[in-house]
């Protein structure tokens, strides 16, 4: 069990409204990712669910019970922090045992649970070490182990991979996803990394300035972003947003085309431009095209992503042809035109 319903929750720090009243429903067993730029209130929202921040108004319901006034420990949620928040002077074993020790669970049950958690997280060899003697990835696994043994109704992850290097991050991402398939427990995951959001989530919640911009599956957000912000935020490299004359041709204030939905030719195409930087990744090439004559906003930059390699260099003239089926149109309010 672990369905969480936020009912008009609101958070103010003094006079500053960080999160205007907000509704959200999270179903049992779902992997939900809160994503948004820094300072959008996603961590605050998570901490409000955990009970670490008081609500200014509204209600938090877990499994149809109002837990707004319930203490964090009694909400049955486990949290994994960005800084791991391990207890530095306790061994890994004692760290994992800590929540059970606080709940006064019998020692033999504790030992069994620690063994099980250590085995599933590959920590068996490190149980008697202290956190200071572990690598970042191992520490994060200990933090996850400490969260698992409580058998919570939901896991809360607060940017758990931000302190890891890129290679470890990919590995831990997979481990957390596997954990989710195995435990089938609700997980709420906060990140500013849209790649993590896209790869892990069943449901993504895009936040900006405390407001939910869109809720949906990763592919829904990719294919039908509800507004300009979501369109620009989801997808890497960013979607090209074009305004002015070219947009008017399509009866829109703004049109958007993703870099991967544009083909490049050296001889002919819809739009013409000069190559700035070309980033060759081997599997893909990102080409930054300038002087397209399109109103792409500040910097006059149009990004194209093509698979494989293409022989272009700085200053070359290229022609761009967008895939019209993949064109996104937005009205004056920035909302999607169906």
Partner 1 sequence: MANRTIPRLLQTPAVLLLLFWMIVPLAMTLFYSFIRYVLNSTVRPEWTTPSWSNWRGFGNYEFVMNSKDFILAIKNSLFIVGSILTLTVVLGVMIAVLINRSFPGRGVVRVLLISPFFVMPAVNAVLWINMLLDPVLGLQGIAISAINDMAAGMQDAPLVGWFFNLWPVLEPISFRATQTSAIAVIMMVTWQWTPFAVLIFMTSLQSEDQQQKEAAVLDGASRWSQFRFLTLPHLGRPMAIVVMIQAIFHLSLYAEIEIVSRGNGNKNLPYLIGEFTNNNIGAASATGIFAVILANIVAIFLLRAVGKTLME
Q: Minimum Å distance from CB 67 to partner 1?
A: 13
Q: Minimum Å distance from CB 83 to partner 1?
A: 5
Give contact residues for partner 1 (rule: CB under 8 A).
50-52, 72-74, 77-79, 81-83, 85-90, 94, 98-99, 102-103, 143, 146, 150
Instruction: Sort residue 320 into left (φ over 0), alpha (ψ -120 to 50) or beta.
Output: beta
Which residues, 6+ apart, have CB-to-CB distance to 8 below 8 Å? 21, 22, 23, 57, 58, 59
Of 96 and 255, CB closest to partner 1 = 96
Q: Is 328 helix (H, G, I), strand (E, B) or coil?
A: strand
Measured in Å, how far apart are the chain's first and last C-alpha atoms?
A: 37
Q: Minimum Å distance from CB 52 to partner 1?
A: 5
Q: Is 129 helix (H, G, I), strand (E, B) or coil?
A: coil
- Residues in a beta bridge with 255: 242, 329
Report d(CA 267, CA 318) in Å as an integer.
Answer: 7
Q: Minimum Å distance from CB 141 to partner 1?
A: 15
Report d(CA 295, CA 5) in Å as an integer.
Answer: 42
Of 82 and 274, CB closest to partner 1 = 82
Of 103 and 109, CB closest to partner 1 = 103
Q: Minimum Å distance from CB 72 to partner 1?
A: 5
Of 138 and 303, CB closest to partner 1 = 138
Report d(CA 78, CA 261) in Å as an integer.
Answer: 41
Of 50 and 176, CB closest to partner 1 = 50
Which residues, 6+ apart, have CB-to-CB distance to 164 below 8 Å? 136, 137, 140, 172
268 within 8 A of 319, measured Cβ to Cβ: yes
Of 52 and 209, CB closest to partner 1 = 52
Q: Minimum Å distance from CB 1 to partner 1?
A: 18
Q: Is 168 exposed, middle or buried (0-12, 13-18, 19+ CB in 10 A)?
A: middle
253 within 8 A of 247, measured Cβ to Cβ: yes
Of 126 and 155, CB closest to partner 1 = 155
Any idea which residue has 């919570």 for tokens?
A: 152
Q: Minimum Å distance from CB 54 to partner 1?
A: 13
Q: Minimum Å distance from CB 143 to partner 1?
A: 8
Q: Is 133 helix (H, G, I), strand (E, B) or coil?
A: helix
246 within 8 A of 255, measured Cβ to Cβ: yes
26 within 8 A of 3, measured Cβ to Cβ: yes
Of 41 and 131, CB closest to partner 1 = 131
What is the 8-class DSSP label of residue 334? S
Of 1 and 103, CB closest to partner 1 = 103
Q: Minimum Å distance from CB 79 to partner 1?
A: 5
């Amino acid at each position: 069990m672990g369905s969480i319903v936020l009912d008009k929750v609101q958070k103010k720090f003094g006079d500053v409204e960080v999160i205007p009243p907000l509704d959200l429903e999270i179903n049992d067993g779902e992997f939900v990712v809160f994503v948004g730029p820094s300072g959008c209130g996603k961590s605050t929202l998570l901490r409000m669910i955990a009970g670490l921040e008081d609500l200014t108004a509204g209600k938090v319901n877990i499994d149809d019970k109002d837990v707004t006034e319930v203490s964090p420990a009694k909400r049955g949620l486990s949290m994994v922090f960005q800084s791991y928040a391990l207890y530095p002077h306790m061994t890994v074993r004692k760290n994992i045992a800590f929540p059970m020790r606080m709940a006064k669970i019998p020692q033999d049950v504790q030992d069994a649970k620690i063994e099980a958690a250590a085995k599933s997280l590959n920590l068996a060899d490190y149980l008697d070490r202290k956190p200071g003697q572990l690598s970042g990835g191992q520490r994060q696994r200990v933090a996850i182990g400490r969260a698992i043994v409580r058998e919570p109704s939901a896991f809360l992850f607060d940017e758990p991979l931000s302190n890891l290097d890129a290679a470890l991050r990919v590995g831990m991402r997979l481990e957390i996803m596997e954990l989710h398939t195995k435990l089938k427990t609700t997980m709420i995951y906060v990140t500013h990394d849209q790649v993590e959001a896209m790869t892990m989530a069943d449901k993504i919640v895009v936040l900006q300035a405390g407001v939910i911009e869109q809720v949906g599956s990763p592919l829904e957000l990719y294919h039908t972003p509800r507004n300009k912000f979501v369109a620009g935020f989801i997808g890497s490299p960013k979607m090209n947003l074009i305004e002015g004359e070219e947009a008017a041709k399509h009866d829109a204030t703004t049109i958007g085309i993703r870099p991967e939905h544009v083909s490049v030719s050296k001889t002919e195409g819809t739009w013409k431009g000069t190559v700035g930087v070309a980033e060759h990744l081997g599997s893909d090439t990102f080409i930054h095209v300038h002087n397209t004559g399109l109103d792409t906003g500040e910097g006059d930059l149009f990004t194209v992503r093509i698979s494989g390699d293409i022989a272009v260099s700085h200053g070359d003239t290229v022609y761009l042809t967008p895939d019209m089926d993949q064109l996104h149109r937005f009205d004056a309010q920035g909302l999607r035109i169906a």
